[in-house]
Amino acid sequence: MDDYRYLVDFNTKDLVIENYDVVIIGSGIAGVYTALEIPGRYNIAILTKESIEISNSVLAQGGIAVSLDKGDSPELHFKDTIYAGAGLCDEESVWVLVKEAAENIDELCKFGVNFDRKSKNELCLSREGAHSKNRIIHAGDTTGKEVCDKLISVVRTRNNVEIKERTFALDIITDNDACKGVLAYDEDKAAYILYKADVVVCATGGFGQLYSNTTNPEVATGDGVCLAYRAGAELMDLEFIQFHPTVLFHPENKSFLISEAVRGEGALLKNIHGERFMPKYHELSELAPRDIVSRSIFSEMKKTNADYVYLDITFKGRDYIEHRFPNIYKTCMSYGIDMSKDYVPVAPAEHYCMGGIRTDVWGRTNVKGFFACGETACNGIHGANRLASNSLLEGLVFGYKIGTKIEDILRNSKKGQESINLKAETGRRVKNIDTEKIKQDIRQTMTKYVGIARDKEGLEKAKQKIDSYYDMIKDMKNTNIHHYEIQNIVLLSKLVIESALERKESRGAHFRLDFQKMDDKNWKRNIIKRRI
C-alpha cells in the first residue's frame, strides 16, 4: 500500500515542543484511569479531540461485569467471555480481565463512584446477554457517565496531569522504530505542537462513525487506530464489528442506545405484528450473545418488511422502569414513547469494535514506547464478539496494568530527554474535495455492504468505492480537522473491508452470507501492518 507515513509535513526544528514523561491520547475511562494509575512524580498530558467529557465511555449505559455474587466466580466469568467470543478469545488476556476485575472495582469505589447498592456493603447485580450469573454492577442506566465524571474530577486535582482539550492527535512521531511523542493540532491556537515523550498511550475509542447509524459520538472516527497503523504498529481483528441489537429507531434519533440491561430485566423482543421471535432463534432468547440477537432482529425485519422491531417492557410498572432506567425512560418520553405503556421501536446499529491496535496483556504494541488500551486496542479479550459489559472493565484492568508497566519503564530511564531532529516532506498537494459528501457516501456504503451480514460481492463493491476515494485523497494536503478525519475514515474503511474479505467464514460478529459456518480448521487472525 503506497500510503503516506505522516498526515502533514513538519520539521521538528520549527515546531512548538512540550515535554512530558507520558502522553495519553483519549479521555474516556481507559485514558483517564491510566493517568490516575501512573505515579504522581511523572508529568502526563492527556490529549482529547473535543472536551474531556466527550467519549464512548460516557455513553455506556449498562454497567461493568465483575464476579461478586456468592454463586459466581472468575472462572464462570471466563467461561461466559470465551463462549461469547466464538473461539477467538486470547485466554491469557481473558484470565487477566476476570481475575483482576474486583480489585479495580474497589479502586473505582475509592475514587467515589456511586454504584447502585442493596446495602452499604453490597452492590446491586443485574444480568445481561450471554452472562450465566448476575454480575453487572451499575449506576442507574448511566454507568459510563458516573464513572467518567468521578475519574475526571479526580484527575483534574492531579498537579502532574495537564488536559489538552480540542487537540487532534495526528501522528505518533517515531525515530528508529521507537516512539518519540505525538504530533497534534491545537484547534484553539490553530497550531501544530509536538508533545514529546518516550511513552505514549493510545486510548481513543472505537470507529463507529464509519457507519450511518451508530451509538458512538461524532469524534469516533478511528483516529487512534490509523495513527498507530501509520507508525508501523500492528492491527488485528478489524472485521469484527459489533452491532448493538436495540438502538432507538425514531425519525429524530437513531443512535440512542436502549441498554441490554433492559432485556436483562425481562424485556421481550417482538416484530411489528407484536409476535415474540427470539425463542425460535436461540435457546437463550433475548439474552443470547449480541451478534445472534442482532442477526435475529435483522432477519425478522427482512421477513416482515420493516425497518425496526419492538422492545416490550410494559409488564413492569412505571415506578420500577423510571427508577431502574431513568435516562432511557426520560429520553423515550421526550419522543412520545412511554415505556410503561408503549413498545419501544428499536433496530441494530454499530456499537463496538472488537479489533484495533494489537497489544499484549501489558498494553504494549510492537512499537517501542507505544501502548494502547480500551476499545482502540485489541489484546484478544473479546474474540469475535464482545460479552456485554466487559468493555468498561477492559479499560480499567488494562489501564491499571499499563500504569504499572510504565512505572517500570520510567523508573529505569534516564532523566532529561534527548533532543529530536526529524523532518517529513510528503509532497502532498492541495485538492478541492467535498469531505462531508465523501463521509456520508462511505457511511452508507459500509452500512450496506460491511454491516451485520456480508458477502464477497458486496464487500468487493465496497472495496472498489473506498479504493477510489483512497486514490483521490491519499496525496491530499491536509490543513484542517475535516481533512484529517476523512484520511482516517477512508484508510480504516479500506482496512476493515480487506479484513472482512480475508475471513472466509462466519464467526461471532462477522457473518458471511456466502460462508455461513465457522471454519475451525483453517481460521487465522487477521494481523495487519503497514508496509513501510
Q: Measure Cα distances from 257 to 2, 248, 351, 391, 508 in Å.
A: 39, 6, 9, 15, 21
- CATH architecture classification, 13-239+354-411: 3-Layer(bba) Sandwich (3.50)
Q: How is the chain split into domains, by residue range?
A: 13-239+354-411, 247-348, 428-524
d(CA 235, CA 1): 15
- Active-site residue, selected from the candidate residues 263, 290, 358, 364: 290
Enumerate the β-bridge partners of residue 423: 11
Each residue's pLDDT tens digit in the chain (532 positions)? Answer: 446 899 999 999 999 999 999 999 999 999 999 999 999 999 999 999 998 887 767 777 779 999 999 999 999 999 999 999 999 999 999 999 999 999 999 999 999 999 999 888 889 999 888 899 999 999 988 888 999 999 999 999 999 999 999 999 999 999 988 999 999 999 999 999 999 999 999 999 999 999 999 999 899 999 999 999 999 999 999 999 999 999 999 999 999 999 988 999 999 999 999 999 999 999 999 999 888 999 999 999 999 999 999 999 999 999 999 999 999 999 999 999 999 999 999 999 999 999 999 999 999 999 999 999 999 999 999 999 999 899 999 999 999 999 999 988 888 776 545 788 899 988 899 999 999 999 999 999 999 999 999 999 999 999 999 999 999 999 999 999 999 999 999 999 999 999 999 999 999 999 999 999 999 888 888 999 886 5
Enumerate the β-bridge partners of residue 19: 196
Q: Measure Cα distances from 53 to 29, 67, 70, 219 in Å.
A: 10, 29, 36, 12
d(CA 105, CA 107): 5
Our answer to whether residue 429 is catalytic in this structure is no
| DSSP secondary structure string for all residues of 226-289 | HHHHHTT--EE-TT-EEEEEEEE-BTTBS--B--HHHHHTT-EEE-TTS-B-GGGT-TTGGGS-
**Which burial class, exposed, middle or buried, applies to 74 when counting CB atoms under 10 A from its CB (0-12, 13-18, 19+)?**
middle
Q: Does 13-239+354-411 match 428-524 in CATH topology?
A: no
d(CA 454, CA 508): 13
d(CA 416, CA 333): 57
Are 372 and 357 contacting, i.e. CB atoms less than 8 angstroms apart? yes
CATH 1.20.58.100 fits 428-524, yes or no: yes
Q: Integer distance in angstroms from the first to the last C-alpha of the chain?
A: 9
**pTM of structure:** 0.94
| The listed CATH number (3.90.700.10, 3.40.50.720, 2.30.40.10, 3.40.640.10) that belongs to domain 247-348 | 3.90.700.10
Phi, psi for residue 22 in degrees, rounded to 5: -140, 135
